[in-house]
Amino acid sequence: SAVISQKPSRDICQRGTSLTIQCQVDSQVTMMFWYRQQPGQSLTLIATANQGSEATYESGFVIDKFPISRPNLTFSTLTVSNMSPEDSSIYLCSVEDQGGGHGYTFGSGTRLTVV
Amino acid sequence: GQQVMQIPQYQHVQEGEDFTTYCNSSTTLSNIQWYKQRPGGHPVFLIQLVKSGEVKKQKRLTFQFGEAKKNSSLHITATQTTDVGTYFCAGDVSPPGGSNYKLTFGKGTLLTVNP
């Protein structure tokens, strides 16, 4: 299955600042997915990132707040902009494992605390 | 919108007891996937079910997909302390051949095992 390197693993940020999270995949993938997981909660899809096109955002998430880059088929970034304490969460990237029936592989997550 | 409901939210068992978590969707699913997330970890893919009425086993884990493809269950026989974690179901609601592929996660069931 795919291997994803996600960084940073955690960060503590001041409100009003921005943090960029990076995900590097060891194989080329068409779509990359960004999720948010608040402590003890389920995973909520933020957006789907396709190479060469703008990301598709889910209801409640906007590009100005969560800009995404997808410069090639192995890499993507998610920026959390103008952070507030409500943005404190775990952010995960994910890709579908190729071949069908193998589910999705997740990055190890970025634990963000906004103070 | 599409919802995937999962119960129970928490389950505490004695080691050796069985455990079951249930997942229900408001609409028919193309497939359903199950993930395990250890405390402090990221979700790890367990299995995917595609066919109506499908049953799959992985050692002590039994996964079922309902006949109507709207519900699923995960049953663990004789739990062990290594089974501790949160089990998520995730449904794919995209129509066959559709391009808007998206997983919707249940809220998860946190399993704790008393040794």
pLDDT in tens, B45-90: 999 999 999 999 999 999 999 999 999 999 999 999 999 999 999 9
pLDDT in tens, A40-88: 899 999 999 988 888 999 999 999 999 999 999 999 999 999 999 999 9
CB-CB: which of B44, B45, B107 is closest to A42?
A: B107
Nearest residue on chain B to A111, alpha-carbon basis: B40
pLDDT for the residue numbered A39: 86
Using a CB-CB cut-off of 8 Å, the residues of chain B touching A1 are 45
Say whether A104 and B1 touch across the interface (CB within 8 A): no
Rounded-to-integer distance, Cα B39 and Cα A40, Å? 10
Q: Say if residue B17 is exposed, middle or buried (CB neighbours under 10 Å; 0-12, 13-18, 19+).
A: middle
Say whether B45 and A31 touch across the interface (CB within 8 A): no
pLDDT for the residue numbered A24: 98
The verdict on A104 touching B (C-beta cutoff 8 Å) is yes
pLDDT for the residue numbered B100: 56
Token pair of A89 as six digits: 């969460």
The verdict on B87 touching A (C-beta cutoff 8 Å) is no
Nearest residue on chain A to B42, alpha-carbon basis: A108
Rounded-to-integer distance, Cα B22 and Cα B73, Å? 5
The verdict on B45 touching A (C-beta cutoff 8 Å) is yes
pLDDT for the residue numbered B99: 53
SS percent in chain B: helix, strand, coil, step 5 = 5, 55, 45
pLDDT for the residue numbered A102: 78
pLDDT in tens, B6-57: 999 999 999 999 999 999 998 899 899 999 999 999 999 999 999 999 999 9
pLDDT mean across residues, chain A: 94
- pLDDT-based confidence at A10, cuts 50/70/90? very high
